[in-house]
Amino acid sequence: MHSWVDGQPADSVPLKDRGLAYGDGLFETIAVKAGQPVLLDRHLQRLDEGCRRLALVADPMVIRSEVLAYATALGEGVLKLILTRGDSLRGYGINPGAPVRRILQGSPPATYPSAHGTDGIRLFPCATRLAEQPLLAGLKHLNRLEQVIARAEWHDTKHAEGLMLDVSGRVIEGVFSNLFLVCNGLLLTADLTRCGVAGVMRAEILAQAQTLGIPVAVADISVEQLQQADEVFVCNSVYGIWPVRECAAMSWSVGPLTRKLQGIVRALLEI
């Protein structure tokens, strides 16, 4: 599957692209099933918020149209949408009116061991900490070096994901996922106003839980709260939900609320 740049097949971008030079842009990773992008509205809502906060000039109708067309051509797999601020001369200053560069890439469907979903996974306790930057918190921007460094901390197959804390020691998320706890019937996920990525599957799970009448909370989470949780799971928009069984010396059972939400999410991803 060829990549597209600004709606046309292409396999390169100019060397002056600000995404390459400064990580000046945003991206979305979207599952595609039967030619349809899954949870597209949530992806585009987050992208729109990112464009607003980074002052990127993008036409949402053009982006939606190109994503739908690319997904149809891809059929099955994973679509990556990248927006950059386009070309620039030397220096950090921006041209406020410059249109974004739109990049679409496709890859085969993601494959993970089925045991991740059925039996649960082990998290690696990452030493890399997430810096606090409220201006960028929640966005899926192109500066992902913290995640790159954290993912390099383990190389074995025993750990399917890593656990990331912020510099103050709060529990935030996985390296490529969001984290949920179940504590006495309450579904709890981390406050992401200082750092972290506000995943679209996280948003969908919160909405589904509220529809079902499940109590939810978004708040700071301590390591002690994590340790005392009844259930723990991670999620993203490609694989859905993985129960968490272990992290370092901590362990949990795969509980009924995790299984209930897993079933709902599985149906969403299968269209």
Nearest in space to 45 (alpha carbons), one of 192, 195, 178, 198 = 198
Select which of 28, 29, 84, 204 is catalytic.
29
**Catalytic status, residue 29:** yes
28, 84, 140, 189: which one is catalytic? 140
Q: What are the tokens at 213? A: 């009448």
Distance between CA atoms of residues 263 and 271, nearest Å:
13
Which residue among 28, 84, 161, 173 is the active-site one?
173
Q: Check residue 100 and report its DSSP letter.
A: P
3-state helix, strand, coil in the chain (%, to 5): 30, 30, 40
Helix H or strand E segment including 50: helix 40-54
Alpha-carbon distance of 193 to 137, in angstroms, equals 5
Q: How far apart are CA 141 and CA 50, in angstroms?
A: 8
Residue 173 falls in the annotated catalytic set: yes
| Catalytic center residues | 29, 140, 173
